[in-house]
């Protein structure tokens, strides 16, 4: 850059230099528009994008109703999250597995099962059950509550990170039923061997409801709400 400046006359260089420097130093303001502001609607089922369609009109390919945002997203998400939080307590306090043998009957919750495997030396199994059955549902509940609260307030705090958090919740949701699969596997194996009888406790139903409710809450939450501007509040009279 300095070599090119020496080739110019001093008067011309002094006149051009501020304009060039301003061009490279001052960031250009880019006006950003949302797709909905441009009259675009994306079909959530087939992915087709339509222009200049009304709210609630059917998709021309699959017939799915097109909306700017998911209808009643906040209300549905909060209702499902509250129900999941209520069921989270019995899912961890009630027994998920009942073992009947010649030595008596044993009731195991999720955490007692983790302790049993840990004491028995099965550290890997204990860690997997603890993460998949205790931490993952708790992480999903906290993450969904955080994303819903910030989106409802129109917060601009770490929007890209919140979008990535939503994708992480969607990704790990498929592993939430691991504890149910473990109990089902143990029920089949122990009954085949004939040494004891293992049945699923009432806690497994509560745990399954937590998993289903969090999955439905994740589906009800519209991640596009994260990028919507702060809602305008009416001025006091």
Please determine, for residue 41, whether its predicted confidence score (pLDDT) is greater than 80.
Answer: no
pLDDT confidence of residue 143: 93
Q: What is the pTM of this model?
A: 0.72
Q: Are residues 35 and 77 in the same domain?
A: no
pLDDT confidence of residue 3: 43
pLDDT tens digits for range 143-188: 999 999 999 988 888 889 998 999 888 888 766 666 566 666 655 6
Mean per-residue pLDDT, 103-125: 81
Decide: residue 5, CB within 10 A, 0-12 exposed, 13-18 middle, 19+ buried.
Answer: middle
Q: How confident is the model at residue 20 (pLDDT cuts 50, 70, 90)?
A: very low
Query: Taking the mean position of all CA atoms in its chain, how far away is CA 51?
Result: 29
Q: Are residues 105 and 18 in the same domain?
A: no
- Percentages helix, strand, coil for the chain, rounded to the nearest 5? 60, 10, 30
Q: Are residues 50 and 160 in the same domain?
A: no
Question: What range defines the domain where residue 32 resides?
Answer: 1-68
In order of 27, 30, 236, the CA distances from 23 in angstroms are 8, 14, 44
- Give the relative orientation of helices 123-130 and 178-193 as an angle to the nearest 10 degrees: 140
**Tally of domains in the chain:** 2
Residue that terminates a domain, selected from 51, 68, 85:
68
Please determine, for residue 83, whether its predicted confidence score (pLDDT) is greater than 80.
Answer: yes
pLDDT confidence of residue 186: 59
């Amino acid at each position: 850059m300095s070599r090119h400046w020496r080739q110019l006359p001093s008067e011309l260089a002094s006149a051009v230099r501020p304009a060039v420097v301003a061009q490279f130093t001052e960031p250009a303001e880019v006006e950003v528009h949302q797709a909905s502001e441009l009259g675009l609607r994306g079909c959530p089922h087939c992915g087709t994008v339509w222009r200049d369609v009304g709210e609630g009109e059917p998709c021309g390919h699959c017939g799915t109703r097109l909306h700017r945002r998911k209808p009643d997203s906040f209300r549905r998400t909060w209702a499902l999250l509250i129900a999941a939080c209520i069921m989270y307590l019995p899912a961890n306090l009630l027994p998920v597995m009942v073992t009947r043998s010649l030595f008596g009957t044993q009731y195991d919750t999720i955490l007692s099962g983790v302790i049993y495997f840990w004491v028995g030396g099965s550290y890997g199994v204990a860690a997997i059950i603890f993460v998949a059955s205790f931490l993952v549902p708790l992480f999903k509940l906290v993450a969904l509550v955080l994303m819903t609260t910030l989106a409802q307030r129109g917060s601009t705090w770490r929007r890209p990170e919140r979008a990535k958090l939503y994708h992480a919740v969607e990704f790990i949701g498929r592993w939430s039923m691991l504890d149910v699969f473990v109990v089902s596997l143990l029920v089949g194996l122990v009954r085949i061997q004939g040494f004891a009888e293992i049945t699923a406790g009432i806690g497994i139903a509560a745990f399954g409801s937590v998993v289903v409710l969090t999955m439905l809450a994740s589906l009800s939450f519209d991640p596009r709400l994260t990028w919507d501007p702060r809602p305008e509040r009416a001025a006091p009279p």
